[in-house]
Structure 1
Amino acid sequence: MTKNDVVTISFYNKPLIILCPSEFRRILVKIAVDQQYLSAYTATTSCRQCFSIDRVPVNCKKTLVRHQPLISKWVMLSLLLEKFMFDFDGIELVMTFDISIIPQPGPENHGVDFIPIIRSGAWADIGNFRPQMEDVYICADNFMSDYGLKNAIDGPNSFYGVFDGHGGKHAADFACYHLPKFIADDEGFPMEVERVVASAFLQTDSAFAKACSMDADLASGTTALAALVVGRLLVVANAGDCRAVLCCTGNAIDMSNDHKPACNRERERIEASGGHINDEYLNGQLSVTRALGDWHIEGLKGGNGSDCGPLIAEPELMTRQLTEEDEFLIIGSDGIWDVFRSQNAVDFARRRLQEHNDPVMCSKDLVVEALKRKSWDNLAVIVVCFQSEPPRNLFAPCPRVHGSMSVTGLGKLQSFLNDEK
């Protein structure tokens, strides 16, 4: 018998390795190439799926159109090769190809006409070891309407916030109520959304300083993370150690940085402003380096409501233009991130959304899992979905076809080889 040759076919940038007698190599390659051209030709004309208008919320003015995943092409080629194997009895094929990730559309198709379909849910729990609840959250899927503004943009306008209080709940409650109001009252919103959001953090901090000067019982502080969706633009503003993580086709993308003393950039800023880090605490007192409030703690903030000390309320902003690859956003207080890594949380939430496609249940699932993992802090989570459909499966089974020669096939092949001598 002739020595077997290995044939490798590049199919949509994936290797297709075939072990077969060299006499049949040319035929096999031709069939695979022909099928590749056929699939590419028919894909753009027949393989489309449109969501019907009754499945799209009223606020959305466009219908999503997605091409059928290219996995169908792999299946068609698999069936073709399997048929070829059994039609020519006596040929041994070992066919393996890895479909670890379904091919994705090229960058030129990403997000040009994409309009996010917003669905959100939230859940909170006092936690396993805390005597009182100091985490607060807000979800406003229709932010402009909820705050009496005329919608001047095409697409969603949403606001979400998580506030993790310390030393009491007053600062968290104050920020949760006033921060979105300062945004809504700014004439620059929504056209200057980044400037407006950053300004709202500082205004909220100054307003709380005045409130504390009139009522010492309000003395407390809070971290704050706000996320806004304005059309396709996602804006995340963070001051503290709450975190926002975006799921982009299964990959976790941090949309905020944790402001803790261990961060080198924060340490440099603190030391430049006259502060110091002691045992991973700001001035030996706070475990975060940015927060609203805490005006009662000497040496952390400037006097008379000025924000010029080592502890600042200035948020760090991150923005992103959403595309149809962006599936959902997780916003959580640090009690969640004490027991979840960003990618771990995305993987967990993605599986839950594939099961029930409910952001409220997904938020609850995250909190319950954090409790099982013995998180010691208060817990608050918001899950914001950008699609009406659940996240699609990224992994497909890797088919492996084995063929063995029958006695009849062995005889035919031996006869063929003898004729070639």
Structure 2
Amino acid sequence: MTLQLTNVGLNALLRAMSGDKIIFSSVQIGNGDPQDISSATGLGNPLKTLTITKITVNSNNATLETSFNNSDVEAGFRLKEVGIFAQNQDDATEEILYAYGTEPEATADYIAASSGSILETQLEFSIFVGNAENISAIINESLAYATKAAFEAHVEDKGNPHEVTKEQVGLGNVPNVATNDQTPAYSEAKNLIDLSSGEKLSVAFGKLKKAVASLIAHIKNVENPHEVTAKQVKAAEEKRSHTAADITKGTLSVQRGGTGKSSWVANQMVYAQSTSTLGVIEASKYSSGLLRQRPNEAPYWGPVSVTGSYVGTGGYGSDNPNSLAFDDGEIPNIIVITAQNRNFITLAVLFPYAGRGITFNDSDGNGSPAYRLEVSISGKAVSWYSPKSAALQANNYNITFVWHALCK
């Protein structure tokens, strides 16, 4: 079975490549139907959770070992899916599905129920970790059977785990005293003298005592016993001041009164991007733009007004509204719509933020009263309709209408 990274697993790996940790926490097996690996967050039908006994990281992969037995399996099943879980990098109390693998029913291993016979086995899973360095796992050291790691640790234990006595190894006459517990007797030497090979420990320790005492006394002497001068260590004067003109290299940070940059793009405006950095606003793409700013957001350029046209479809009413989309996302305060036709006059004025509008239509030349339009805003679009007619909705069939919008 091949394990592949889920979307959340891939995100955890990318974060690990930037310094975060990946801590694998458990392995699950089950017999659920295959699912989309990239969006999977758990097994389709998890049947058993396995603890990790060992992790080995080689090149771009990590190998997880786990111990499995069927002592609590009441009904046999096909091992069709495996999931590798890791700690959530933002909340260690939660787990994420890092990798997931499936196997068809026909080729999946069969896990027998415990009523037949007890099965004890070691499982290994290889998963991709790239060049991430902080890879570890939560290891269960309390399994019923000794792991390979525990056995190797016992073999390498040099601390007499079986309590062998000195008599058993023929050292009955040797004092059982650790090196750190020995208490050699010695007197401090009167003068600083070099050590000599082959001399007694009491003499050597006396010389060392004299040397250590002399060194400690010398270190504590803060009166410049070697009479070193400031010129010898190339020290600066005790007091010295500078002017701004003395700074000829480097770039001052914002915290030091600078800009943090050595150059700027021409015709761009500078603003405080945060309390410690400066940002720039790109030059306006509009011939007569307005500088705008939403609450707690960066300033930006927006249009003063926009215009356009559309061809009427003949529909009207709440089921057939007209709609205008504004690409810059700036819903205007007022939209004025007129018809390009000399046989009749249509004038519609929309007030998007009030949710209302008015319309006039003089197709017979006898004048027209004002009618109300219903106006609404949805995302970047303004919609309107009249329940009375397409003419009053400014939507006469095959008539071109021109609109002008004033932005706030």
Question: Shorter-chain TM-score: which interval?
Answer: under 0.3
**TM-score normalised by L of structure 1:** 0.18
More helix per residue = 1
Considering only CA atoms, is the larger Rg found in Structure 1 or Structure 2?
Answer: 2
Structure with the higher fraction of residues in strand conformation: 2
RCO higher in structure (CA 8 A, sep ≥6)? 1
TM-score by length of 2: 0.18
